[in-house]
A and B are shown apart, each in its own frame.
Chain A
């Protein structure tokens, strides 16, 4: 999930406004029956709460862009947990989904990589363990005994990496932390730690970095005490068994071509991403190893 911020709004104004988006949505709906794809159903794309929590404008921009590129109406679905999106995708109710790398490696055999975001020109991101600015902890081991905020049980950065670190220490979150809870959003982890609800938290380093520029007053109340190695960025995936390979390719192309389109560039600016790329499953070996270790220990 990405926060609302003045810059965010400025970008909206500078690029495509609300009126343009609504006009685009209307146009998409109108032109769809005569589109080249010719299919009658709307394209369903799931979005996990990693990026999109409540920003209707970003959702509308993405919908407008994808509908225009795919030539069909687009339905964007958002759920509270990663698990719900993954379940919808695996059950064939979604044509594609932007999911976390953890569920991807868990279901790699069923899922096809359609596109991977480029953050700082590479398809990688990191996990951060953060503490409240008033905390004395300087390393991951010093957050022992704290109240800890996780993001999501299916989040790599928001749960898996920390569990992995604890597995390496032959311990578990219940033993290592005084208590822990899930916030179901990386921004919520920042809020929990910044307000003192939690003393430490595990979260997506990309979200923390973007928030540092956009919500410094909130981020300034937190401090990073652990940075993981770089892992494959949460991808856009579809089912390998998809009935319409042309649609899967069109979705993939739409994401990868985003920098060439005005609305696409607008979306990338909001997400603070450089673009999307094709990627090999090997990109997620690091994530897979961590998951396997944690599962083995469990």
Chain B
């Protein structure tokens, strides 16, 4: 995911306050720059005014002494000016004669009388009258010519300490940064809280949508709708209407599923009755034979054997039915015989339709899957396959186990699954199949999904439809009831 996409995925409750804070910081930066520039210009202007006033006063005081080259008067003027200009921190001031020598300086120890102004000091000052500012060193240098009737009688050179101005500038900058950062954070926090509050109905809606995904379409109660905005009120109304529609559809589907179950049961009962009825004629004949030839040992034995086989067959049929429809606790493992048993249940239907079985059960040991669900799914698929396969056709069943799953394939030679049914079965469509169009498949999908299994449709030569169902083993058989296993559903639909 690109950074842009990543940011786009951030929740609104973050993005909006961050955006607001970002805009505020941007605005604060621009305002700070303007304030600082203005402050700098004002400070420089004030400095120029102050230094100009200082030089005006000083040059007036010093001029006569410069004309007379009066050392003491020049020094006294410099010394007195030191205390007269509060706000101007003069580091040193020099009255230099036209020959470049010092007449007097405020710091005579550094610039002795009659000494030459050091070149490294002299070059810091502007050559003409004016002010040079160096913020890096926190110094400013002033120069003013002393003139009498257009004759130069000397220059005043002064070095000013402007570190205080720079300190004020730094302080203003720090204050601006601190205030703006505080405002940005404050607005971001307030914005975040306000937005969270505004978006709270969205999280309510989201949680109820999540319930729908989990299979429960609960309407949002009135208690959760207090104090929400008009927009969310409308959305909640629409959601509740949708939830009601979903619940009605679920109820209808459930009813249809039951009907389908009864239909399957009817078919099974009919088949079972046929299975029981078939040997019954023989059994009654056997009873009659016993009555008439019971004394004949040979005949009696043969008849009793016949009776036993018939009853055994009936018992098998009954037992298989009981196993399939018992409402006891789920079996924790599926044995090979649990699959083979199913053949007994569908065989009457197969016989009725004159359909053959290609029955390959490669299971050798019990596997950890839910027996009830698996048997019900295979039974439904087999019944559907028998129904779809024309007379003299073949229904295929293959069961095998891998290291981690049970795989059962049921195939038929019918006209193939309608597209909508196929999509529904493999989970590509959520629309329930039409009534009569395969309610058995609706149950199949539900049961497979319950057990975290997957359904695939594939194609094999000689078969129009091959449905492969995979049930993952429970990692621990003792946790069969757990629903924490990974669901893996994929589908390939044969055209």
Closest to A197 in B: B108
**B-binding segment of A136-144, A177-185, A271-279:** A177-185
B71-A178 in contact (CB<8A)? no
Residues from chain B with a CB closer than 8 A to the CB of A183 are: 72
Q: Which residue of A lies closest to B70 (CB)?
A: A181
Report yes or no: B108 in contact with A182, Cβ–Cβ below 8 A: no
Q: How far is the CA of A182 from the CA of B76 in the complex (A)?
A: 12
CA distance A192 to B79 in the complex (A): 11
Determine the interface band of chain B, counting residues with CB < 8 A from chain A.
Answer: 10 to 19
Query: In this complex, what residue of B is CB-closest to A149?
Result: B72
Question: Which A-chain residue is minimally distant from B106 (CB atoms)?
Answer: A195
B112 part of interface (Cβ distance < 8 Å): yes
Q: Which residues of B contact A44 (CB under 8 A)?
A: none
Cα distance A197–B108 in the bound complex, in angstroms: 5
Q: Is B72 in contact with A184, judged by CB distance below 8 angstroms?
A: yes
Residues of A within 8 A of B76 (CB): 188
Query: A183's closest neighbor in chain B, by CB?
Result: B72
A191 to B112, CA, bound (A): 15
Residues of A contacting B108 in the complex (Cβ-Cβ under 8 angstroms): 195-198
Residues of B within 8 A of A147 (CB): 112-114
B234 to chain A, nearest CB (A): 88
Mostly helix, strand, loop or mixed at chain A's interface? mixed
Q: Does B109 contact A (CB under 8 A)?
A: yes
Q: How far apart are A284's CB and chain B's nearest CB, in angstroms?
A: 28
A147, B72: Cα distance in complex, Å? 12
Quick one: CB contact mask for B92-123 with A, threshold 8 Å, 1 for yes?
00000000000010011100111000000000
Q: Would you give 18 A-B contacts (Cβ < 8 Å), ordered by A?
A: A147-B113, A149-B72, A179-B71, A179-B114, A181-B71, A181-B113, A182-B70, A182-B72, A183-B72, A191-B79, A192-B72, A195-B75, A195-B79, A196-B109, A197-B75, A197-B104, A197-B108, A198-B108
Q: How far is the CB of A169 from chain B (nearest CB, A)?
A: 23
Report how far A56 CA is from B75 CA in the complex, Å.
23
Interface string of B17-30 (1 = CB under 8 A from A): 00000000000000
| A201 to B70 alpha-carbon distance, docked (Å) | 16
> Nearest residue in A to B76 (C-beta to C-beta)?
A188
The 4 closest A-B pairs by CB, nearest first: A181-B71, A196-B109, A197-B108, A196-B108
A31→B70 CA distance, assembly (Å): 46
Contact A192 B112 (CB under 8 A): no
Known pairs A179-B114, A197-B108. 18 more at Cβ < 8 A? Answer: A147-B113, A179-B113, A181-B71, A181-B113, A182-B70, A182-B72, A183-B72, A184-B72, A192-B72, A195-B75, A195-B79, A195-B108, A195-B109, A196-B107, A196-B108, A196-B112, A197-B72, A198-B108
A178 and B72 within 8 A (CB): no
A188 to chain B, nearest CB (A): 6
Bound form: Cα–Cα A60–B363 in Å? 133
How many angstroms from the CA of A272 to the CA of B75 in the assembled complex? 29
Once bound together, how far apart are the Cα atoms of A179 and B79, in whole Å?
Answer: 21
Cα separation A149 to B73 with both chains bound (whole Å): 12
Task: State how many angstroms separate the Cβ of B412 from the closest Cβ of chain A.
Answer: 120
A-B contact count (CB 8 A): 38
- A192–B71 Cα gap in the complex (Å)? 10
| B-to-A contact residues, CB < 8 Å | 70-72, 75-76, 79, 104, 107-109, 112-114
Q: Are A188 and B114 in contact (CB under 8 A)?
A: no
Q: What's the tally of chain A residues with a CB closer than 8 Å to chain B?
A: 15
CA separation between A147 and B108, bound complex, in Å? 11
- A196 cross-chain contacts in B, Cβ below 8 A: 107-109, 112
B110 to chain A, nearest CB (A): 9
Contact status of A181 and B72, CB under 8 A, knowing A147-B114, A197-B104: yes
Contacts of A192 in B (CB 8 A): 72, 75
Of residues 177 through 214 on chain A, the ones whose CB sits less than 8 Å from some CB of chain B are: 178-179, 181-184, 188, 191-192, 195-198
Q: Inside 8 A of A182's CB, which chain B residues have their CB?
A: 70, 72
| Cα A182 to Cα B71 with chains together (Å) | 8
Nearest-Cβ distance from residue B69 to partner chain A, whole angstroms: 9
Q: How far is the CA of A292 from the CA of B104 in the complex (A)?
A: 34
Nearest B residue (CB) for A194: B108
Give the contacting residue for B113; candidates A184, A188, A191, A197; CB below 8 A. Answer: A197
Smallest CB–CB gap between B71 and chain A, Å?
Answer: 4
Given the complex, which residues of B lie within 8 Å of A179, measured CB to CB? Answer: 71, 113-114
Q: In whole Å, how far is A282's beta carbon from the nearest beta carbon of chain B?
A: 35
**Hey, which chain A residues are within 8 Å of B104, CB to CB?**
197
Give, as a whole number of angstroms, the nearest-CB distance from A167 to chain B.
Answer: 24
A178, B114: Cα distance in complex, Å: 9
Q: How far is the CA of A267 from the CA of B72 in the complex (A)?
A: 29
* Chain B neighbourhood of A195, CB < 8 A: 75, 79, 108-109
CB A5 to nearest CB in B, in angstroms, measures 18
A95 to chain B, nearest CB (A): 31
B81 to chain A minimum Cβ distance, whole angstroms, is: 14
Q: Which residues of chain A come closer than 8 Å to B79, judged between CB atoms?
A: 191, 195
- Nearest to A192 among chain B residues (CB) is B72
List of A residues within 8 angstroms of B114 by Cβ? 147, 178-179
Nearest Cβ distance between residue A152 and chain B, in whole angstroms?
Answer: 11
Considering the chains assembled together, what is the distance between the CA atoms of A192 and B112 in angstroms?
Answer: 11
CA–CA, A183 and B107, complex, Å: 17
Inter-chain contacts of A197 with B (CB < 8 A):
71-72, 75, 104, 108, 113
Tell me how far the C-beta of B104 lies from the nearest C-beta in chain A, rounded to whole angstroms. 6
Say how far B78's CB is from chain A's closest CB, in angstroms.
10
Across-interface contacts of A149 in B (CB, < 8 A): 72
Smallest Cβ distance from A215 to chain B, in angstroms? Answer: 15
How far apart are the CA atoms of A184 and B65 in the complex, in Å? 13
- Complex: how many Å from CA A110 to CA B49? 56
Q: Tell me, in angstroms, the Cα distance from A198 to B104 when the chains sit together.
A: 10
> How far apart are A30's CB and chain B's nearest CB, in angstroms?
38
B112 neighbours in A (Cβ, 8 Å): 147, 196
- Distance in Å from the Cβ of B72 to the closest Cβ of chain A? 4
